[in-house]
């Protein structure tokens, strides 16, 4: 008792002293009493939380959650610490810079005119000499919608090059192809509201807790409010997400396709399928694309008996049955997945197989029943997928290789028919491969850091050494700046205005809160000034500001399956995000897409309750996709599987979170997680330097001995620029989505001599 009292008293005294110390610090940072709060969206992940930016004078001094947005005032620690550490980071780039004497010369500050002329000259000359296919744009799921729409238009209609791709290819492409092939159009049919109504969560290939903390909070609250709700987490790592799970199902990495087919088998065997739904709303297809029947599908999945799934994946047969029953017997099941499914050489198939489960059980189109793919970046959905800012796409779900779609866009943009090249451009990996080969000679990079994030970095960084690189960037420590010939200082996040579209089809506006720092400029201005100098007709870009671009994009969406004509700039200023389809200004937005009475694009008198209007036959497709192993499974020579991912405190390449001492100190550098059993066999102790050697390269990491990883699996986070773990990875991509397999490669693991 004496001790606790003593400690208590000492603690209280310290608390009083420290709170007294704390008060002036708070006042010094100015976070007490901003003059006004400006509405926006968080800069980080695809959850798309609403924020309020506290502004005093012309400085951003505070940030808090927007109580009117889906996050109801909450922010995760990354979002809550965004201001002032990131906005006013010491290494913010505030002046344009160029390398006057080639790649080895230093970056020198120059005027905007000089930087723009310098970049434009190279692009102009490259196009004159080698044609428009020799120049490319590499964009980002963090760019504003207006920026991506504009860049897409400049390249495809202005420069006549379809080489427009970006980092969403590295994260969401498989989800896009999954939705496209299963439902005919991209983007989820459900929303976050489904989390509040679900009675079963099937979380596979997602560490929601660390990658989407506010959604995890919502799932946890759902579980708390109704403990009957079941949560299944299928993941080879026992992440923090598994802490709220009723079942954590670890499996051999890369064997989830067998599990998903096995679940389908159990669902039929136990007669938990929804025959009426299947008959009315679905069609079956074989991998080759030819039609199949329900009986053929049943026979196909019948091969995946629980015992066979156990053999392939290591999941006990009884658990396969249990998961399938929990999923199918629940009144409303939500599937959530992220990079564990997408960043795979069979990522699209894995996506299809998740959709299959929802289609055979009818767990779709009702509150709480939906396959909801989580997005990694704040504007991959709205900005890149919807505006068609990828090599094979045109805006609003149109395809480059469809002549009718090209003509529609040419007419809308007011360019002669035949302007848009009929062949799709180069997807990311092919783009960098072509740069290595010298076929693509000039690259415009916006808002992303490929020298850090591409797979098989040793193979692809020479591309950046070889090609002329113009880059927009905010922070001096981005790895790619090492290769940039021109750097345009971009206005950061709340220094300009623009729309982000998050996972749940919600478009929300970040209004300009403060002026751009130093000489930095909004990127739409940079893109237009650059394009005019390269020779793009100024009539293609008749915009005064981002709102003008939004207006054009909004009109373009009218009548399309992505109809958000009703989401005007004024509405976005007033409301904290609106979910499309939203065809008219008085429409409140849509929660249940494809559902009559909910989705305004389904005719009110449609005979069926659900209408998958994205596909030509109005039906969703159930695909017969077999299990296939990953590109590089563990073998005798390289006996471990290496996987990569996030930690909650760092985001992507840490150019933002690395500036926040509170976040950075928790995980200042990369490490390798090793299972205690493996560590014992390898003679490795906590903190020992451990070598990971793959067929590409070898690197050393300090060991963290933890049972998060199952035996045979090691994990490294990818945020650390001093330890570019992607150097260890191969560059195998999904055949359909062209998304690389960042989640699985084989490796040797041994203690450093």
Partner 1 sequence: MAAKKPLLIIALLLALAGGFYLYINIIFPPVRCEAAKHPEAPEQYADCLECHLKVTPATAQNWRESKHGVLLVKCVVCHGLPDGKGSVPFAAKPGVQDICVRCHEPAMKQMVEKYGAELECDSCHPHHQNPMHRRAFEAKKPSKTSF
Residues that bind partner 1 (CB under 8 A): 2-3, 6, 10-11, 14-15, 18-19, 21-23, 25-26, 29, 31-32, 64-65, 67, 72-77, 80-81, 83-85, 199-200, 209-210, 213, 216-217, 220, 223-224, 227-230, 240, 243-244, 246, 325-326, 329-330, 648-649, 660-668
Q: If we measure between CA atoms, which residue out of 495, 421, 332, 379 comes closest to residue 141? A: 379
Query: Would you state the structure tokens that stand for residue 16, as one six-digit string?
Result: 């009083």
Least distance CB 512 / partner 1 (angstroms): 22
> How many C-beta atoms lie closer than 10 Å to residue 34's C-beta?
22
Q: How far apart are CA 481 and CA 475, in angstroms?
A: 9
Nearer to partner 1, 67 or 418 (CB): 67
Judged by DSSP in three states, 57 sits in: coil
Judged by DSSP in three states, 475 sits in: strand
Least distance CB 141 / partner 1 (angstroms): 23
Nearer to partner 1, 239 or 351 (CB): 239
Nearer to partner 1, 446 or 646 (CB): 646
Least distance CB 661 / partner 1 (angstroms): 4
Nearer to partner 1, 302 or 666 (CB): 666
Going through 29-150 in order, the beta strands assigned E by DSSP cover 36-41, 50-56, 59-65, 97-99, 107-109, 135-139
Q: How far apart are CA 187 and CA 386, in angstroms?
A: 8
Nearer to partner 1, 90 or 544 (CB): 90
Q: If we measure between CA atoms, which residue out of 663, 732, 68, 620 comes closest to residue 347? A: 732
Q: How far apart are CA 743 and CA 174, in angstroms?
A: 13
Nearer to partner 1, 196 or 329 (CB): 329
Alpha helices per DSSP H over 184-329:
193-197, 208-211, 213-225, 256-269, 275-281, 294-302, 306-313, 317-329
> How many C-beta atoms lie closer than 10 Å to residue 28's C-beta?
9
Least distance CB 331 / partner 1 (angstroms): 8
**All residues at 6 or more sequence positions from 86 whose CB lies less than 8 Å from its CB, including other chains:** 43, 492, 656, 657, 659, 660
Least distance CB 264 / partner 1 (angstroms): 18
Going through 377-467 in order, the beta strands assigned E by DSSP cover 393-394, 398-399, 442-446
Query: Would you state the structure tokens that stand for residue 12, as one six-digit string?
Result: 């209280």
CB-CB contact of 201 with 173 (8 Å):
no
Least distance CB 205 / partner 1 (angstroms): 19
Nearer to partner 1, 13 or 735 (CB): 13
Torsion, Cα 364 366 367 368, to 10 degrees, reads: -30
Nearer to partner 1, 354 or 663 (CB): 663
- Class of residue 294 by CB neighbours under 10 A (exposed 0-12, middle 13-18, buried 19+): middle
Nearer to partner 1, 33 or 418 (CB): 33
Least distance CB 37 / partner 1 (angstroms): 11
Least distance CB 209 / partner 1 (angstroms): 6
Least distance CB 663 / partner 1 (angstroms): 8
Nearer to partner 1, 79 or 139 (CB): 79
Least distance CB 199 / partner 1 (angstroms): 8
Between helix 317-329 and helix 306-313 the angle, nearest 10°, is: 120
Judged by DSSP in three states, 362 sits in: coil
Nearer to partner 1, 484 or 648 (CB): 648
Nearer to partner 1, 5 or 129 (CB): 5
Look at the chain and count its residues. 753
Least distance CB 364 / partner 1 (angstroms): 18
Least distance CB 195 / partner 1 (angstroms): 14
Nearer to partner 1, 240 or 305 (CB): 240
Least distance CB 242 / partner 1 (angstroms): 11
Q: If we measure between CA atoms, which residue out of 176, 175, 170 comes closest to residue 140? A: 170
Query: Would you state the structure tokens that stand for residue 396, as one six-digit string?
Result: 């609003």
Phi-psi region of 572 (alpha: psi -120 to 50; beta: other; left: phi over 0): alpha
């Amino acid at each position: 008792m004496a001790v606790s009292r003593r400690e208590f008293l000492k603690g209280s005294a310290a608390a009083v002293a420290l709170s007294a110390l704390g008060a002036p610090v708070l006042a010094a940072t100015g976070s007490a009493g901003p003059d006004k709060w400006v509405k926006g969206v968080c800069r980080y992940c695809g959850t798309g939380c609403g924020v309020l930016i506290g502004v005093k004078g012309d400085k951003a001094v505070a940030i808090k959650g927007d109580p009117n947005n889906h996050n109801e005032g909450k922010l995760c620690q990354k979002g809550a610490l965004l201001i002032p550490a990131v906005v006013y980071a010491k290494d913010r780039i505030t002046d344009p810079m160029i390398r006057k004497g080639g790649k080895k010369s230093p970056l020198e500050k120059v005027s905007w005119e000089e930087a723009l002329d310098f970049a434009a000259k190279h692009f102009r000359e490259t196009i004159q000499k080698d044609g428009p296919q020799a120049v490319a744009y590499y964009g980002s799921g963090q760019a504003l919608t207006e920026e991506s729409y504009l860049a897409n238009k400049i390249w495809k209609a202005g420069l006549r090059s379809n080489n427009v791709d970006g980092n969403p290819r590295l994260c969401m492409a498989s989800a896009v192809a999954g939705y496209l092939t299963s439902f005919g159009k991209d983007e989820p049919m459900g929303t976050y509201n489904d989390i509040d109504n679900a009675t079963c969560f099937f979380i596979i290939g997602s560490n929601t807790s660390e990658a989407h903390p506010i959604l995890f909070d919502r799932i946890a609250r759902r579980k708390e409010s109704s403990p009957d709700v079941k949560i299944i987490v299928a993941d080879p790592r026992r992440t923090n997400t598994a802490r709220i799970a009723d079942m954590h199902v670890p499996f051999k990495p890369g064997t989830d396709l067998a599990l998903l087919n096995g679940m389908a088998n159990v669902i039929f065997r136990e007669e938990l399928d929804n025959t009426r739904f299947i008959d009315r709303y679905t069609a079956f297809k074989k991998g080759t694309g030819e039609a199949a029947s329900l009986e053929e599908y049943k026979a196909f999945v019948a091969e995946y008996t629980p015992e066979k799934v156990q053999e392939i994946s290591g999941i006990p047969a009884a658990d396969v049955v249990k998961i399938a029953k929990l999923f199918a017997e629940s009144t409303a099941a939500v599937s959530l997945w992220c990079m564990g499914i997408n960043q795979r050489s069979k990522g699209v198939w894995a996506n299809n197989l998740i959709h299959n489960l929802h289609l055979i059980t009818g767990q779709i189109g009702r509150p709480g029943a939906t396959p909801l793919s989580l997005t990694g970046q704040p504007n991959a959905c709205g900005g890149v997928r919807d505006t068609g800012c990828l090599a094979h796409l045109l805006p609003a779900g149109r395809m480059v290789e469809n002549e009718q779609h090209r003509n529609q866009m040419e007419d809308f943009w007011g360019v002669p028919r035949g302007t848009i090249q009929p062949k799709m451009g180069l997807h990311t990996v092919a783009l960098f491969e072509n740069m290595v080969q010298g076929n693509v000679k000039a690259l415009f990079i916006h808002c992303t850091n490929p020298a850090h994030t591409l797979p098989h970095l040793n193979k692809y960084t020479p591309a950046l050494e070889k090609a002329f690189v113009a880059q927009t960037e905010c922070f001096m420590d981005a790895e790619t700046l090492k290769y940039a010939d021109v750097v345009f200082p971009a206005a950061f996040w709340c220094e300009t205005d623009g729309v982000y579209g998050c996972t749940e089809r919600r478009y929300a506006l970040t209004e300009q809160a403060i002026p751009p720092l130093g000489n930095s400029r909004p990127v739409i201005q940079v893109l237009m000034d650059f394009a005019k100098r390269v020779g793009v007709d100024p009539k293609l870009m008749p915009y005064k500001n981002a709102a003008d671009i939004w207006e054009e994009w909004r009109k373009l969406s009218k009548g399309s399956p992505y109809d958000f004509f009703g989401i005007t700039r004024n509405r976005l200023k007033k409301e904290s995000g609106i979910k499309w389809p939203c065809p008219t200004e008085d429409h409140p937005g849509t929660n249940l897409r494809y559902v009559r009475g909910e989705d305004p694009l389904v005719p009110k008198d449609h005979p069926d309750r659900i209408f998958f209007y994205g596909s030509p036959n109005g039906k969703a497709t159930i695909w017969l996709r077999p299990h296939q192993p990953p590109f590089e499974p563990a073998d005798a020579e390289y006996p471990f599987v290496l996987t990569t991912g996030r930690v909650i405190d760092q985001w992507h390449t840490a150019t933002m979170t690395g500036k926040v001492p509170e976040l950075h100190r928790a995980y200042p550098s990369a490490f390798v997680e090793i299972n205690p059993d493996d560590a014992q066999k390898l003679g490795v102790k906590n903190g020992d330097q451990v070598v990971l050697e793959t067929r590409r390269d070898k690197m050393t990491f300090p060991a963290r001995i933890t049972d998060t990883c199952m035996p045979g699996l090691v994990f490294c986070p990818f945020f650390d620029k001093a330890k570019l773990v992607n150097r260890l990875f191969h560059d195998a991509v999904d055949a359909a989505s062209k998304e690389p397999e960042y989640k699985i490669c084989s490796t040797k693991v041994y203690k450093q001599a």
